[in-house]
Amino acid sequence: MSEIKHDQHRIAQMGEYPFARLAQLLKGISPNPDLQMIDAGAGEPRLSLPSFVQPTLAQHLSGFSKYPSTAGNDFLRESIANWLKRRFGLKHVDAQTQVLSANGTREALFAAAHALVNPNAKQPPFIMMPNPMYQIYLGAAITAGGEPYLQPCISDNGFSPDIDHITPDIWDNTALIYVCSPSNPTGWVADYAYYKKLLKLAEKHDFYVLADECYSEIYYQNKPIGLLEVAQGMGNTTYKRCLVMNSLSKRSALPGLRSGLIAGDADLIAQFAKFRSYSGPATPLPLQHIAAAAWDDEAHVQEHLQIYRQSLDAFFDVYGGQVPAGSFFVWLPVENEEAFVREKYEHQAVKLLPGSYLGAAGKQGFNAGSGYVRAALVDGPEKAAELARRLKA
């Protein structure tokens, strides 16, 4: 999306989704028939199913005959609450009032802006987000009646979304900020100081912080810190103004399960739960049982983590450069990203995503995704090394 046109209908402002644009970019081009295709365009983990999936599904097949709870049934929310406490050292998470199940975090990230932001026709509130970003944030901001405020994430600042040079009047009109850590697509990871500064701004200017932590279990060296963890450390033990979202798509390599979590401030959870009771899709009961088993198990997560780390090593040993701190994406500078993507597809049978498709140019500046391509290392170390060889060819 190159530019946001604020006088257009909200749906038109959203532009085409990145993968629809990619399909158009590659239309009419045939990939090299002598090479096996490597699809590094989409962030879809392609690892083996955890061993508990099939037996758990078989045990609970009768659940397909029952309506599931939109909020998530009690057993699933208890598993989520317990995982949050184990993973982030949280002393208290109430499964009934501070946790919701999501039918994948895609819909939840989109719905959050609609549930929590009160649009104002005269002065639309700002909804902040990194640039480049997971484009769901942008679509959510536009359709919720907010004003997208894009934070350029560039190499000069380590791809960190800038919060130091935003003026008080902008913060005063901010309703919500999306933070993605570890970042899709740059691999940046928020540290304690970043979150602490942001939470102090949220308290001073009264806005909500929504952390997309879907890649929290995929990192190269240091385990990423979480938003609720920092809030607790600052004495905010009720997580006021905070919501986090996480998913089994990346953590457990179960993107087809469509199961994630929403957790944090009980007042925001109640408001969001009411909204989702009208619009949120519920996860079928057998799949909720699989999700609970996944949140309860860490062995498969550690196995996947080792594969991702090996994949990063294999790629950068061949390609060169610095390994990102988090996620399984590599964010590579190129001279002309669309030409690069077409050329690699045709001659090297590699599918990549142009970085500009994950960014936008709004009132705050330029498309910070331009001049990059995103590649997802989701097929293991051998394919990662082969991908690097083809990109260098």
Q: Are residues 150 and 362 in contact, defined by beta-carbon separation less than 8 angstroms?
A: yes
HEC profile for 297-331? Answer: CCHHHHHHHHHHHHHHHHHHHHHCCCCCCECCEEE
Q: Which of 234, 268, 113 is CA-nearest to residue 177?
A: 113
Instruction: Label residue 15 by pLDDT band (50, 70, 90).
Output: confident
Q: Which residue has the tokens 């050292």?
A: 89
**Tens of pLDDT along 273-294?**
999 999 889 999 999 999 999 9
Please give the DSSP secondary-structure letter assigned to residue 157.
G
**Tens of pLDDT along 28-54?**
999 999 999 999 999 999 999 999 999
The domains located in the chain, with CATH, are 10-49+300-392 (3.90.1150.10), 66-296 (3.40.640.10)
pTM: 0.95
* Higher per-residue pLDDT: 1 or 301: 301
- The sign of the CA dihedral 368, 370, 372, 374 is positive
Residue 5 has pLDDT above 80, yes or no: no
Q: Are residues 196 and 230 in contact, defined by beta-carbon separation less than 8 angstroms?
A: yes
Integer Cα distance of 110 and 113 in angstroms: 6
Integer Cα distance of 325 and 188 in angstroms: 6
Q: Are residues 130 and 183 in contact, defined by beta-carbon separation less than 8 angstroms?
A: yes
The helix or strand, by DSSP H or E, that contains position 375, with its residue range, turns out to be: strand 372-376
**What does the buried/exposed string (b/e) look like for 288-306 if buried means 16 or more CB atoms within 10 Å of the residue's CB?**
bbbbbbbbebeebbeebbe
Integer Cα distance of 368 and 258 in angstroms: 30
**3-class SS of residue 34:** coil
Integer Cα distance of 324 and 326 in angstroms: 6
Residue 384 has pLDDT above 70, yes or no: yes
**Tens of pLDDT along 194-220?**
999 999 999 999 999 999 999 999 999
Please give the DSSP secondary-structure letter assigned to residue 254.
-
| Mean pLDDT over the full length of the chain | 95
CA angle 99-102-104, nearest 5°?
140
**Tens of pLDDT along 89-122?**
999 999 999 999 999 999 999 999 999 999 876 7
Q: Which residues contact 71 (CB under 8 A, 6 or more apart)?
A: 77, 100, 101, 273, 276, 277
